[in-house]
Amino acid sequence: MSEPTNFHTTPIELPLRQWQPDPAPVEGCAGCAELAAVRSRARAGGDMTTVSDCNVFMRRHPEGH
């Protein structure tokens, strides 16, 4: 069994991807328009997982949807 440490370790710094702006829907693309609508409803309902998923699909346009 290992012994617990008696000193503080340096915290790990993680990137804050949440500060990136949401991607804009591509003009004239029905798929992007639907993803933007789903994202808006998900954000209003507090479903940030779906918001993130929609952002990933929109960033991968056109192969994302």
Structure token pair of residue 18: 């949440």
Angle at Cα 55 formed by Cα 47 and Cα 62, nearest 5°? 140
pTM of the model: 0.69
- Domain borders along the chain are 30-60
DSSP class per residue in 1-65: -PPPPSSPPPPPP---GGGSPPPPPPTT-HHHHHHHHHHHHHHHTT-HHHHHHHHHHHHTTTTT-
6-62 pLDDT, tens per residue? 777 788 887 766 677 899 999 999 999 999 999 999 999 999 999 999 999 999 988
